[in-house]
Amino acid sequence: MCHSLLLLLILTGLDAESAYQVMKFLAKYAEGSGRRVIITIHQPSSFVWRMLHNIVLLSKGKLMYQGPRSKIEPFFAKNGFPCPKKFNPADHYVSLVNDEFVLHEKSVDEWAEAFEEWQEDQTQNDDLQSAIVVSSSFQQSPSEAGTRILTTVLPSSRGRVHVVLFELTRRYLWNLICNPGILGTRVVMYSMLSLMIGILFFDLEDSTSHASVMSRIALLFYSVAFFVFMSVAALPFAVIERGIVEKEVRNGYYHPACFQFAQAIASVPGTFLLALMTTSITLAMTDLRNFRAYFINMFLALNCAEALAQLASHMVPHFIIGIALIAGVYGMFMLLQGFMLVPSEFPSWLKWLHYVPFHTYSWRSFMVNEFGGDVHFDSAQFPTGEAVLDQYEISNVNQTTDMLILLGYGLFIHFLSFAVLHLKFIRHKRNQVTIEGP
């Protein structure tokens, strides 16, 4: 017990020093510069207390005191509660105005009234007088104040757009390289699963049995469904990134579209790497056909998945909800992609749903890539590759068109991200309407 106390005391000392340094810096920042610093603080230490100039004391949403720190003691002393000697004044005042406990002396309403009376007495408070005059002149203004908050906003500090784009892209790329959570874990997971596929379906292409046909179809379904699904791993970090970006947008450094643009560009190398790795390992071991087409398909599908993860990250309050949302969407997409149920078997009024998932275009292109052309099997049901494609109603599919659709699909999701960010930005700006001085 003694040891831990000692340790805590050392920590306390260090941290009080740290808090003191912060306050010292803030006081210096404001002092004599015309700038102002506004902080919220729960319970300042007596060190920190001495460095505050102006106090706004609230309780239950009501104003308990506002004004110079030097006058707060006269106010509480006048009302019969001076700060005891050797007591942290901040603790004293904050506990006085807290009426949630049985042992309070005055209720919040009583304190609020006491302060109003005291404030009226303080006629020498010129600042307050002038502010009240100013505010009443605003009330007369015909602006649609309504339920809005009016804030004078002067030009924000922004770098030039190309510099901002360059900086954000570079930052995202560095994050990709340095933060194993974004790409590293997926590299490990994708390569392990590709290896496992390779081991289970080793030299699959050499076999022409009926079972090998079924294995090929299952493998291609898995390639689309699972590798796309795994992109949810990027979501927690995309949400962390969003927090940082929101802070920067709030401080007016750039329009959020700049960030989405940078994120879209910077996520390409990672997707490229994952697609290349997965394709290389899987195809080297299973010997499936046409490396280039397989890779392009995988790359474009992962690109869509990455874009969708980014879109979700802009919309959800917490990444766990994002993961649940994306998992739900992908579950739905897998159902609709044409593997579980061929398009003609869909209820007629739901047929269009088959064309919604990007999985549809990716999976059928994988199938055409594998079964298209002159391929023969030792199977009564599927004597040729063409028979397999006929079974799934995808014999007329054009791979190039589907690849273009996948490319467009990814771009469209990025566009939706832009739209979401822009709408959020407009809402943020609407809360900050510029008003002219009187």
Partner 1 sequence: MNRRTPPSPPPKTRVNLGDIEAHEQTKGPINLTESTVMKGTAFAQVDYVEVQTNKEENPVLLHPMTVLFPESKVTAIMGPSGSGKSTLLNFVTGTLESGLTAKGMVKLSGRMGFVPQDDRLHGFYTCRSYVEHYSRLTGAKDNFANAKHSMDLLVGLGMDSHSDTIVGDMFRKGLSGGQKRRLSIALEALSSPETLFLDEPTSGKILFLSRSRNLFMI
Residues 31-50 that bind partner 1 (CB under 8 A): 31-45, 48, 50
Among residues 9, 192, 199, 327, which is the contact residue for partner 1, using CB under 8 A? 9
Rounded Cα distance between 66 and 185, Å, is 52
Query: Of 123, 124, 157, 344, which one interacts with partner 1 (CB under 8 A)?
Result: 157
Backbone angles phi, psi at 376, to 5 degrees: -125, 145
76 alpha carbon, distance to own chain's centre? 45
Q: Which of 82, 159, 343, 383 binds partner 1 (CB under 8 A)?
A: 159
* Least separation in angstroms between CB 277 and partner 1: 21
Q: Which of 106, 93, 108 is nearest to 46 (CA)?
A: 93
51 makes contact with partner 1 (CB under 8 A): yes
> Could you tell me if 132 and 122 are in contact, meaning their C-beta atoms sit under 8 angstroms apart?
no
Tokens of 142: 């015909």
Question: What's the min distance (Å) between Cβ of 371 and partner 1?
Answer: 43
Instruction: Using alpha carbons, select from 207, 182, 186, 196 the residue that is nearest to residue 281.
Output: 196
Cα-only R_g, the chain:
32
Q: Which is nearer to partner 1, 12 or 381 (CB)?
A: 12
Residues numbered 167 to 226 that lie near partner 1 (CB under 8 A) are 167-168, 171, 174-175, 178-181
Footprint (CB under 8 A) of partner 1, residues 108-127: 112, 127
Segment contacting partner 1 (CB under 8 A): 236-244, 297-305, 354-362, 380-388? Answer: 236-244
User: Which positions from 290 through 349 interact with partner 1, judged by CB under 8 A?
Assistant: none
| Residue placing its CB nearer to partner 1 in the complex, 356 or 435 | 435
Please, what is the minimum distance in Å from the beta carbon of residue 176 to partner 1?
A: 10
Tokens read off for 66: 């506002």
For position 103 contacting partner 1 by CB under 8 A, the verdict is no
> Bridge-partner residues for 68, per DSSP?
54
Pick the closest to residue 362 from 417, 393, 401 (CA basis): 401
Distance, in Å, from the CA atom of 88 to the CA atom of 138, rounded to the nearest integer, reads 40
The whole-angstrom separation of Cα 220 and Cα 201 is: 12
Check residue 135 for interaction with partner 1 (CB under 8 A): yes
Selected from 81, 82, 118, 128, the binder of partner 1 by CB under 8 A is 128
Q: Which is nearer to partner 1, 68 or 331 (CB)?
A: 68
* Segment 12 to 31, residues that bind partner 1, using CB under 8 A: 12, 14-16, 18-19, 21-31
Q: Tell the smallest beta-carbon distance from residue 315 to partner 1 (Å).
A: 13
* Residue 423 within binding range of partner 1, rule CB under 8 A: no
Binding range to partner 1, per CB under 8 A, among 130-138, 282-290, 388-396, 411-419: 130-138
Phi and psi (nearest 5°) for 98? -95, 105
Tokens at 39, concatenated:
């902080």
Q: Which of 164, 225, 296, 388 binds partner 1 (CB under 8 A)?
A: 164
The partner residues of 209 in beta bridges, in order of sequence, read: 378
Residue 251 corresponds to which tokens in the numbers above? 């401080």
Q: How far is CA 351 from the centre of its chain?
A: 34
Handedness of CA 379, 381, 383, 384 (dihedral sign): negative
Residue 414 in contact with residue 363, Cβ under 8 Å?
A: no
> How many chain residues bind partner 1 (CB under 8 A)?
114
Those residues whose C-beta lies under 8 Å from the C-beta of residue 422, and which sit 6 or more positions away, are: 255, 256, 257
Write the interaction track for partner 1 spanning residues 251-290; mark x where CB under 8 A is met and - where it is not. Answer: xxxx------------------------------------
Cβ closer to partner 1: 374 or 436?
Answer: 436
Q: Token pair of 49, please?
A: 């207390």
Q: Output 46 or 400, the one with its CB closest to partner 1.
A: 46
Task: Please say which residue, 33 or 396, places its beta carbon nearer to partner 1.
Answer: 33
Residue choice 107, 122, 156, 208 for contact with partner 1 (CB under 8 A): 156
Q: What phi and psi values does residue 393 have, to the nearest 5 degrees?
A: 60, 40
Given 75, 76, 90, 406, the residue binding partner 1 (CB under 8 A): 90
Nearer CB in complex with partner 1: 379/432: 432
Binding region for partner 1 (CB under 8 A) out of 240-248, 278-286, 319-327, 411-419: 240-248
Q: Residue 72: CB partners within 8 Å, gap ≥ 6?
A: 55, 57, 65, 89, 93
